[in-house]
Structure 1
Amino acid sequence: MKTYHIKSIERGSADYGWLKANYMFSFANYYNPNQMGFGSLRVLNDDVIQGKTGFSEHPHQNMEIITVPIAGALRHRDSMGNEGVIKSGEVQVMSAGTGVYHSEFNDIADVTNISQIWVIPNKNNVEPRYDQISFSFDANSWQQIVSPNPDDEGSWIHANAWFHHGVFDKGELTAYQFNDKENGVFIFLIEGEIEVNGEKIEKRDGFGVHDTEGFDIKIMEDSRILLMEVPL
């Protein structure tokens, strides 16, 4: 088993007043040659957006964009005609494909915290698509929220990738088995403290695992985990 640990304090950051951003990987004005992504996982941003502010309309192309609200809510509009609110307990998936414009505004909550993730697709110039689903916070189990298969649980993207969300109680032990042994898994610990392969992972750390078919996670404190299996 090989691992790759990015501690929360090792992330890039930017403070724009209306937006406080933390970058797990190189993004915008933050560049770190040692943090360029994890396989096809190119972006993992942890954004705190103040009320009555947001991202004005901007374009994307040939990227799978997954947004997981951690707290608060965000209003989405796009050039495909979609408009709605995403909140904690939901995941939004947008395949940018040949090109799409969208905006994201926090006009509902005092403060909204989202995790926005970009995955490099396995095919370019697909027809843009949008999806939004809800998931549960049932304790001590994984819930699949993204996969490559439209007929599977959760939403789907144009990539050989599986995302799982889980909420676990202190003292639990949970296991994860890879769907594809050529993939790697990147853990984003939203809350709590866990241990993988004898290494302590703390709140908002990122932790990659590869060259193994599975691994165990010890729950050291009540935890909320986002787990992303992606091609390397």
Structure 2
Amino acid sequence: MIELRPFSSLGGANHGWLDAKHHFSFGSHYDPKRMSWGSLRVWNDDTIEPDTGFPPHPHSDMEIITYVRKGAITHKDNLGNQGRTEAGDVQVMSAGNGIVHSEYNREAEATQIFQIWILPTSRGKAPSWGAKPFPKDDRSGRFVTLASGFEADTDALPIRSDARVLGATLKAGETVEYEIDARRHAYLVPATGAVEVDGVRVNARDGAAIKDLKRFSVKALEDSEVVLVDAA
């Protein structure tokens, strides 16, 4: 099954400094049909204006992955971690038993991110944060694991979840296949471009909710940058 969720159908709000679209129920946006997808709980499409951002606020027991699409995001938390993550790169925060953090756009242009929340498999652990560059050329024509709860994915940022976050950059006409246990849940969003997932067209920032499949193909209709979550 592949359920298309067009960008135009997403809930959200424009706060001036933040234009947020929500693939799932989040904050004041509630849609009982889009509460989660397996252990994937949140996929927010955020545009943050220059010199603005999220002031310090707390989280606990959630794996929070930030994929930067444009610009850069600057992180600071009460553990002493600080870092700037730029377009194409990824940061991961395991909120564990509690963390307070801020995320600001210190750039001269608007920053665009996907913020992805995945439920952890264990609760009450020590919080942590990390970031890593993932050059787009290294993902050309294939999926690369960006964040993972599996020890075998040694090059990925670690998360405490039965899930993977993957990225691929595809030139127009290229096709990549992905194998998945039919009991798991996949959610795919093109950051840019347009693709066909087993013949279903998915435009930039649309979502494709996928389940009950053992394999699916992703064909680029245009040069495309794709993000995929494979979750229990």
TM-score under structure 2 normalisation? Answer: 0.95
**RMSD value, Cα:** 1.2
Aligned to 1:218: 219
SS of 2:8 mapped into structure 1: helix
SS of 1:131 mapped into structure 2: strand
1:141 matched to 2:134? The reply is: no
Structure 1: runs of 5 or more not aligned: none
Aligned to 1:60: 59
For 1:192-207, list aligned pairs within 5 A.
192-207=193-208
SS of 1:221 mapped into structure 2: coil
The C-alpha deviation readout for 1:165-222, integer Å capped at 9, x for no partner, is 11101111110012x4431111011111111122111110110111122111121111
Moved more, 92-101 or 191-200: 191-200
Aligned to 1:11: 10
* Partners of 1:155 and 1:21 in 2: CA distance: 25
| Correspondent of 2:171 among 164, 169, 172 | 169
* Partners of 2:52 and 2:148 in 1: CA distance: 32
Contact 1:73 1:109 in 2 (8 A): no
SS of 1:141 mapped into structure 2: coil
> Which structure shows the bigger proportion of residues in strand conformation?
1
1:88 matched to 2:87? The reply is: yes
* Partners of 1:47 and 1:123 in 2: CA distance: 28
* Partners of 1:88 and 1:55 in 2: CA distance: 18
Contact 1:76 1:83 in 2 (8 A): yes
| Equivalent pairs, count | 229
Moved more, 66-75 or 190-199: 190-199
- Which amino acid counterpart does residue 216 of structure 1 have in structure 2? S
* Partners of 1:181 and 1:92 in 2: CA distance: 28
Aligned to 2:230: 229
TM-score under structure 1 normalisation? Answer: 0.95
- Which amino acid counterpart does residue 173 of structure 1 have in structure 2? T
Moved over 2 A (4+): none
Identity of aligned residues (%): 36
Aligned to 1:28: 27
Contact 1:175 1:217 in 2 (8 A): yes
